[in-house]
Amino acid sequence: MNGPNLNKLGTREPEIYGTSTLADIERLVSERACSLGAEVRSFQANGEGELIDWLQNEQSAADGLIINAGAYTHYSIALRDAVAGCSMPAVEVHISNVYRREAFRHESLLSPVCTGTIVGLGVHGYELAVEALVQLLKKN
Amino acid sequence: MNGPNLNKLGTREPEIYGTSTLADIERLVSERACSLGAEVRSFQANGEGELIDWLQNEQSAADGLIINAGAYTHYSIALRDAVAGCSMPAVEVHISNVYRREAFRHESLLSPVCTGTIVGLGVHGYELAVEALVQLLKKN
Amino acid sequence: MNGPNLNKLGTREPEIYGTSTLADIERLVSERACSLGAEVRSFQANGEGELIDWLQNEQSAADGLIINAGAYTHYSIALRDAVAGCSMPAVEVHISNVYRREAFRHESLLSPVCTGTIVGLGVHGYELAVEALVQLLKKN
Amino acid sequence: MNGPNLNKLGTREPEIYGTSTLADIERLVSERACSLGAEVRSFQANGEGELIDWLQNEQSAADGLIINAGAYTHYSIALRDAVAGCSMPAVEVHISNVYRREAFRHESLLSPVCTGTIVGLGVHGYELAVEALVQLLKKN
Amino acid sequence: MNGPNLNKLGTREPEIYGTSTLADIERLVSERACSLGAEVRSFQANGEGELIDWLQNEQSAADGLIINAGAYTHYSIALRDAVAGCSMPAVEVHISNVYRREAFRHESLLSPVCTGTIVGLGVHGYELAVEALVQLLKKN
Amino acid sequence: MNGPNLNKLGTREPEIYGTSTLADIERLVSERACSLGAEVRSFQANGEGELIDWLQNEQSAADGLIINAGAYTHYSIALRDAVAGCSMPAVEVHISNVYRREAFRHESLLSPVCTGTIVGLGVHGYELAVEALVQLLKKN
Amino acid sequence: MNGPNLNKLGTREPEIYGTSTLADIERLVSERACSLGAEVRSFQANGEGELIDWLQNEQSAADGLIINAGAYTHYSIALRDAVAGCSMPAVEVHISNVYRREAFRHESLLSPVCTGTIVGLGVHGYELAVEALVQLLKKN
Amino acid sequence: MNGPNLNKLGTREPEIYGTSTLADIERLVSERACSLGAEVRSFQANGEGELIDWLQNEQSAADGLIINAGAYTHYSIALRDAVAGCSMPAVEVHISNVYRREAFRHESLLSPVCTGTIVGLGVHGYELAVEALVQLLKKN
Amino acid sequence: MNGPNLNKLGTREPEIYGTSTLADIERLVSERACSLGAEVRSFQANGEGELIDWLQNEQSAADGLIINAGAYTHYSIALRDAVAGCSMPAVEVHISNVYRREAFRHESLLSPVCTGTIVGLGVHGYELAVEALVQLLKKN
Amino acid sequence: MNGPNLNKLGTREPEIYGTSTLADIERLVSERACSLGAEVRSFQANGEGELIDWLQNEQSAADGLIINAGAYTHYSIALRDAVAGCSMPAVEVHISNVYRREAFRHESLLSPVCTGTIVGLGVHGYELAVEALVQLLKKN
Amino acid sequence: MNGPNLNKLGTREPEIYGTSTLADIERLVSERACSLGAEVRSFQANGEGELIDWLQNEQSAADGLIINAGAYTHYSIALRDAVAGCSMPAVEVHISNVYRREAFRHESLLSPVCTGTIVGLGVHGYELAVEALVQLLKKN
Amino acid sequence: MNGPNLNKLGTREPEIYGTSTLADIERLVSERACSLGAEVRSFQANGEGELIDWLQNEQSAADGLIINAGAYTHYSIALRDAVAGCSMPAVEVHISNVYRREAFRHESLLSPVCTGTIVGLGVHGYELAVEALVQLLKKN
């Protein structure tokens, strides 16, 4: 699940986010999941409500969550509640190293309700998240 | 009016929110209102904009508001402005005792623009809110 | 149980607290309790120690507590400890909407040790508290 | 682009925002733009996601932005990111003098990503913003 | 009205408070009041509740208040409410210069509800307070 | 009225403030005022006292004020009091976008006592201020 | 000297405070004092004023003080002043480890005016305080 | 010594400062001083440097200081240093009750270097300051 | 490189850190590195100085760094400077989800000088770090 | 276990720490332990890593810990983790009354992971710690 | 350049600032400069505006600046801007060790715009500043 | 005495610290000391404990201290205590202007226990420190 403005990846501030597009990321994630015997459904929206709606609708069909909530990471308590309500392993991803940017990007409301977090490793971070999630699900 | 994730009541974190569903609450509220000669329209949405849209559309037809804005309680200045713009008695309800939970749930942006607030009394709090609202409207 | 200066209700700053006297409130509370098959003992004092003494003495004979601790709400850790020590359902009441007043009235030390809180609904809030308490005791 | 509750201008708290409606403002803006040889597209929404969607869709066709994000000004990092992603001159407008109001209205997340800000000059501020934007575009 | 530990004046930390006793102060105040045609009733207690009780009982018989609430100055919201509830001119006195002492003595909860404050002028401050109060009452 | 270091405009940090000199600005302002049937008196000083002296002396002859107080914007309560004491419409101007600079430049003590504020629009901001002021005076 | 709610020891929250009663503690303290050739007078009250009254009355007859001020530890400047006014060695005791509890219990207003502090060692802490006090008095 | 904007007393915000002019105050002060056998030199300036210059020049000829530094009270460390450097009794006066006004007026940098402070008693506060100063000088 | 107390993994608080020992982790890391054609040198120390010494000595022979600095993460500016001085890609790992623990574990001084961070994914996080580092080195 | 600079006791700032040397303390502790049937091993180091090394090595052979971590008390999270990892009763000692000294000495990172704390009772505090520890071990 | 109250050196609080006068310092500085082949112009004023005026007038004729801005160091953003606008090497000097004094003297607004700072070395610090400045100018 | 990472001077971040090596600095310091009739012993270590050990061992043989504690400057209370325990004149040196860098480098725990501080003057600052120290020792 990808949050606001991530549909603009590749053209938006590429010196921060790189040149991969959201489609590139979704393909990378699918391929890595496939190679590990898993399947992925992707979603992106700019609206907080749409993201929560999708989470609520998909959660019964899913075993885990990879989430990059973009700017909502830092203030959406509603999204945090929705993730906490899913009761499944979740891995949070950030493409850029948020700790080198504005102070308001240093705190994540999602981290405490996710299992783990991968920050600053570019789009490769999504692939690592797939591997982590598959590993987490195996253990349970 | 109920905010984000309240459509999941009954299954979401029942140790905090109890086992009543949103439908149960809406029925309780309707029955209590009916017994006091009042009528209620219910609405729930996960999106901040949809909640504001609904408030703006319904306000001319209503005499008062019962609102549980869920997580938006703590950061949605937009919703606060919409409630303030309604210019009618409003009672804020929270099912759980928010003062026993995370610090970011201790402040409500809505409380100063509502007439009163009922916290921690479970779904029964909605019934008390109906009684309070009817009482407030009688006085005016 | 009513705290400091509440014995002056009716004459003290009526634009904030209304014109009902403490005797009026005690009668309203008794009548509502009576109609629900319950009985109430009332107490008011200006002294923190007297309030704690009374709580300690009465707690074995009571099933629940309705408390408006007035100004002590905001700084009396001793009263908080006494309420927590009672180990019974407690409902906190405030006549005025404290969130519209000075910042030091926005925090209640009692809320986390009470079951629930009713704020800003005038003296009617006491009646709602009676109903809430009776309901809470029925559930246990 | 106008944010939440600005569609209620004229009737909502007129002692703060005046009696002009959003339609009045849009007409004033169009006329001033026209007189300077420019053309304006207007949009208002209550939802954060809808505002971001519109910005993303319109940005390739536009040379500049006039934005009054209403309450989102103070907490929507997502909108800030969307404005920053537009990479075009932007002028922020506020009708009322936000510095005379609640403390949470004193900080704007948008100001650092806009070229300039016009505050407290009523609906006339929108006209000045048109002139400023045309001037900024001429310089480039 | 004098608050906690002021009954120990003269022997308690004389390098801060000087060597005058509370009886000396009460005599000075009475004499100055007498010379201005006024009469004073004095009271000292260590208990917050007793001070409030006395204020409530005496207020109908008095035209003004001179108050040194000692340590309660800095945290007793209950006493502040009692003074505010008196609705009469009040002059706050502190013997020592509280701004040269611990940080927690720099803020007075009483100052905003008193007409004026006299700090650091020793026991002579009480005499000035009498003169100020008489002057204030003449003006009304 | 222009504050400290603004007499150095054009040579001082031109990457922030541009290359226009103070004389250029005063001419632009005069011309725009003239075209709107108004007349302007200009003043610049580095001293807080001199600025206040000038404001006190000129205020009876003027209908409105355009003020860029430079660094005094952020700490001169004395200047704020002087502007508030003028009791006439005032428009605050800042050439650079202060919200992109050091945190101590984000707060203006003057904004709450001015009618409105124009920030970050370069020397053109002064011209807009003239138009805004004339418009404000017409409305009264 | 023991402060508010300590008369309820043994029954109040025994998982925090243990099962010894106040009478048990007073006996332990007396016995230990006796074995060291000292004598102890005990006092407990829930009221701030009563505690200060007792301190003022007893101080001339005593050589040292053992104090557990309970909740007053954290906000009673009046009690702090009374202890400071005693001018004798004082040992502060807390039964529970206050540093593992709510943040507002981490600061003691009394510690800077006592000679030393013993925290978290249960009722045995009172015995150690007796030994410490006798040792301190021997040295003088 | 009177600080910035106090030369405008009587016409500037009379609902806060009253209708007495600075000349009225200087006459009151002189008369009271005269009646106590003392003589006063008065000075007012809007500039921080001028006030310090005057203090440095006059201090050898004076025995004490009455100072209302106006807005400089709250931020002029330079003036504070100048007053501290005088090494003579000083009484600080404020006409209005600064504790009922903006938060930035609640702290005085001068109070810790003055002997005492008189706040909120109107122009009469200056007369009390004269009496206090004469009394202080007698004691030395 | 592993910091203080990580040599106790497996026995120290296993409910937080799991049952793998440091030797287990070092073997996992070596195997994963080997499978990707890379080689790893491991080091653990409890001393800040020893960790810095090792970093300084090894940096010329290495292409990248995987670092779990344990408690030093949160306060060792010296270690941060040493990592920054290495000028090579670095991946920070934390076994537990630090955002669910004490507030002082939420800030990492190392994150801004590392390329990326992997948190809360158990010992598997080390394996992902190896993969991430190899990927980062390929890109350069 | 004694931390940095405690090897200099007796000569280092004796007005704060007294004239006993570390050898004196170790002898007192041994004697008191001996008299209670216990045995003590002593260690002092200036290095954080050496202290942690020693704790890790000795913990299996010990039943309890007496620790004065000196300056590390206030910032060494690594030492805190090492103490927490010991899983045995621990008593924290400070010779001086840290609450009368610099603010940065008021917080102890160790207190929440120790059983109890003894502050300000000089070297005698170590003897009390021995007694407390023996008592604690008897109870288990 | 020397700021407010430095003209009183030698007589003002000599226990802090020593007994050298400003004339002594200016002679020391001149002699040291002369011995290094440089020439110095000295200036002292109590007014912020006068200091800025002098800086603006002298900057074209100078190669570097030695500045002790006295109390203005801590709050004069205007002076900071003037120093930054000079674009030449600057060395800041403080006679006393400001870090041992009031907290408001610990922050210097000038340090970030000066090349370096010399604190606490008495009047000798001025001589070192001359040497440093000459050295800095040689390097360019 | 030089702290952590200063052994890497010349190669570590030369744009901040310049190209001189630690050996260069030690030679400069020795030569300047020699020319003033003094002798210097140099030491560098990365470990906090080693630095304290060295200070304790060398202090009896030395008359003064020049210290650049690197990163420990900002958090090592242990080192601060060791310096304070030396009871000799000490001059603190920083090569770079720490006030232009991260906020956590703006506070020095050592400054209040050193005689003076020299910041931002490059390696030349060490030479000035030698001169200052010799001068300080002459005065005593």
Residue E1 within any structural domain of the chain: no
Is C124–B135 a contact, with Cβ atoms under 8 angstroms apart? yes
Does residue I117 belong to the interface with chain A, where contact is any CB pair within 8 Å? yes
Q: Which residues contact D3 (CB under 8 A, 6 or more apart)?
A: B78, D44, D45, D46, D51, D67, D68, D69, D70, D71, D72, D73, D79
Question: From the candidates D72, D74, D75, D94, which is the catalytic residue?
Answer: D94
Average pLDDT, rounded, for chain L? 95
What mean pLDDT do residues K46-63 have?
96
Q: Which of F49, F56, F76 lies nearest to residue H8, judging by beta carbons?
A: F56
- Which two three-digit tokens encode residue H114? 């003055």
pLDDT > 90 fraction of chain A, expressed in percent and rounded: 91
Residue with tokens 């080195």: I137
What mean pLDDT do residues F70-92 have?
97
pLDDT tops 80 at residue F140: no
Distance CA B44, CA B30 (A): 15
Residue F1: other Cβ atoms inside 10 A: 20
Contact F82, F56 (CB under 8 A): yes
Residue J1 within any structural domain of the chain: no
Averaged in consecutive runs of 10 residues, what is the pLDDT profile of chain C (140 residues)? 95 82 96 96 98 96 97 98 95 97 96 98 97 91
Residue A128 within any structural domain of the chain: yes
Domain encompassing residue B26: 6-139
Q: What is the pLDDT of residues B64-113, one digit of tens each?
A: 999 999 999 999 999 999 999 999 999 999 999 999 999 999 999 999 99
Does residue L107 belong to the interface with chain I, where contact is any CB pair within 8 Å? no
Average pLDDT, rounded, for chain D? 95
Instruction: Please list the active-site residues of A.
Output: 17, 94
Q: Which of F49, F77, F80 lies nearest to residue H46, judging by beta carbons?
A: F49
What mean pLDDT do residues F63-81 have?
98
Provide the pLDDT for residue K127: 97
Nearest CA to A53 out of B44, B110, D56, B16 is that of B44
Does residue C13 belong to the interface with chain G, where contact is any CB pair within 8 Å? no
Q: Which of D97-101, H49-53, J48-52, K14-18 has the lowest mean pLDDT?
A: K14-18
Nearest CA to C117 out of C66, C82, C75 is that of C66
Q: What is the pLDDT of residues J70-98, one digit of tens each?
A: 999 999 999 999 999 999 999 999 999 99
DSSP assignment of C99-116: GGS-GGGS--SSGGGSSE
Provide the pLDDT for residue G16: 80
Contact E66, E2 (CB under 8 A): no
What mean pLDDT do residues A107-112 have?
98
Residue in chain G lying closest to E14 (CA): G85
Contact J64, J137 (CB under 8 A): yes
Residue with tokens 């949470």: D104
Q: What is the pLDDT of residues A22-65, one digit of tens each?
A: 999 999 999 999 999 999 999 999 999 999 999 999 999 999 99
- Which two three-digit tokens encode residue I119? 């948190």
Contact A65, A90 (CB under 8 A): yes
Catalytic site residue C94?
A: yes
Average pLDDT, rounded, for chain E? 95
Catalytic site residue L17?
A: yes
Residue I10 within any structural domain of the chain: yes
Does residue H125 belong to the interface with chain E, where contact is any CB pair within 8 Å? yes
Mutate to test the interface with D, among A16, A44, A46 (most CBs of D within 10 A): A46
pLDDT band of residue L45 (cuts 50, 70, 90) is very high
pLDDT > 70 fraction of chain B, expressed in percent and rounded: 99
Give me the helix-helix angle, B48-58 and A48-58, nearest 10°: 110
Distance CA L45, CA I47 (A): 13
What mean pLDDT do residues B34-61 have?
96
Is A56–B13 a contact, with Cβ atoms under 8 angstroms apart? no
pLDDT tops 90 at residue D115: yes
Count of CA atoms in the C-beta half-sphere (13 A) of K25:
32
Contact J65, J88 (CB under 8 A): yes
Which chain D residues are within 8 Å of B56, Cβ to Cβ? 5, 7-8, 46
Amino acid at I87: S
Distance CA J21, CA J30 (A): 14
Residue in chain G lying closest to C85 (CA): G12
Which chain C residues are within 8 Å of E81, Cβ to Cβ? 4-5, 70-71
pLDDT > 70 fraction of chain K, expressed in percent and rounded: 99
Q: What is the pLDDT of residues G67-126, one digit of tens each?
A: 999 999 999 999 999 999 999 999 999 999 999 999 999 999 999 999 999 999 999 999
Which chain D residues are within 8 Å of B52, Cβ to Cβ? 4-5, 46-47
Q: Which residues contact J18 (CB under 8 A, 6 or more apart)?
A: J9, J10, J95, J122, J123
- Looking at chain H, which runs of residues are DSSP E strands? 65-67, 90-94, 116-119
Closest chain E C-alpha to H88 CA, distance in angstroms? 14
Provide the pLDDT for residue F12: 78
Residue L1 within any structural domain of the chain: no
- Which two three-digit tokens encode residue J69? 């971590």
SS3 H68: strand
Q: What is the pLDDT of residues L69-90, one digit of tens each?
A: 999 999 999 999 999 999 999 9
Which chain D residues are within 8 Å of B78, Cβ to Cβ? 3-5, 46, 70-72
Residue F41 within any structural domain of the chain: yes
Distance CA A122, CA A132 (A): 16
Does residue C78 belong to the interface with chain E, where contact is any CB pair within 8 Å? no
pLDDT band of residue F112 (cuts 50, 70, 90) is very high
Provide the pLDDT for residue K10: 87
Chains A and L touch (3+ CB pairs under 8 A): no
pLDDT band of residue K24 (cuts 50, 70, 90) is very high
pLDDT band of residue E129 (cuts 50, 70, 90) is very high
Q: Which residues contact H73 (CB under 8 A, 6 or more apart)?
A: H3, H92, H94, H105, H108, H109, H110
Residue H77: other Cβ atoms inside 10 A: 21
| Higher pLDDT pick, D135 / I13 | D135
Residue G106: other Cβ atoms inside 10 A: 16
Residue with tokens 């499978």: I35
Looking only at the bridges linking them, the beta strands covering F116-119 and D116-119 are antiparallel
SS3 J7: helix
- Which two three-digit tokens encode residue D117? 């800000």
Sheet holding A90-94, edge to edge: A65-67, A90-94, A116-119, I116-119, I90-94, I65-67
Q: Which residues contact H65 (CB under 8 A, 6 or more apart)?
A: H1, H55, H83, H86, H88, H89, H90, H91, H133
- Looking at C1-140, which runs of residues are DSSP E strands? 65-67, 90-94, 116-119
pTM passes above 0.90: yes
Provide the pLDDT for residue H19: 86
Is A82–B46 a contact, with Cβ atoms under 8 angstroms apart? yes
Amino acid at C33: A
Contact H55, H83 (CB under 8 A): yes
What mean pLDDT do residues E54-80 have?
97
Distance CA A133, CA A93 (A): 12
Q: What is the pLDDT of residues E35-50, one digit of tens each?
A: 999 999 999 999 999 9
Residue with tokens 């557990």: G68
Does residue G107 belong to the interface with chain C, where contact is any CB pair within 8 Å? no
Residue in chain D lying closest to F122 (CA): D116
Which chain B residues are within 8 Å of D17, Cβ to Cβ? none
Does residue J82 belong to the interface with chain I, where contact is any CB pair within 8 Å? yes
Residue L47 within any structural domain of the chain: yes
Is F80–H74 a contact, with Cβ atoms under 8 angstroms apart? no
- The 3-state DSSP composition of chain J as helix, strand, coil percent (nearest 5) reads 55, 10, 35
Measured CA distances, D114 to A15, D67, F120 (Å): 20, 9, 9
Average pLDDT, rounded, for chain A? 95
- Burial of residue K43 (number of CB atoms within 10 Å: 0-12, 13-18, 19+): middle
Is G78–E3 a contact, with Cβ atoms under 8 angstroms apart? yes
pLDDT band of residue I134 (cuts 50, 70, 90) is very high
CATH classification at residue E40: 3.40.50.9100
Residue L63 phi/psi, 5° resolution?
A: -105, -20
Residue G44 within any structural domain of the chain: yes
Q: Which chains touch F (3 or more CB pairs under 8 A)?
A: D, H, K
What mean pLDDT do residues L32-49 have?
97
pLDDT > 90 fraction of chain D, expressed in percent and rounded: 91
Looking only at the bridges linking them, the beta strands covering L116-119 and K116-119 are antiparallel
Q: Which of L48, L85, L109 lies nearest to residue J48, judging by beta carbons?
A: L48
SS3 H33: helix
- Burial of residue D19 (number of CB atoms within 10 Å: 0-12, 13-18, 19+): exposed
Provide the pLDDT for residue D63: 96
Is E119–H124 a contact, with Cβ atoms under 8 angstroms apart? no
Residues of chain H with pLDDT under 50: none
- Burial of residue C59 (number of CB atoms within 10 Å: 0-12, 13-18, 19+): middle
What mean pLDDT do residues A98-104 have?
96
Provide the pLDDT for residue H23: 96
Residue L105: other Cβ atoms inside 10 A: 17
Is L85–J13 a contact, with Cβ atoms under 8 angstroms apart? yes
Q: What is the pLDDT of residues G1-13, one digit of tens each?
A: 999 999 999 887 7
Residue G124 phi/psi, 5° resolution?
A: -60, -25
Q: Total domain count for chain B? A: 1
Provide the pLDDT for residue J44: 98
Chains B and L touch (3+ CB pairs under 8 A): no
Contact G72, G51 (CB under 8 A): yes
Average pLDDT, rounded, for chain F? 95
Does residue G77 belong to the interface with chain E, where contact is any CB pair within 8 Å? yes
DSSP assignment of L18-43: -S--HHHHHHHHHHHHHHTT------
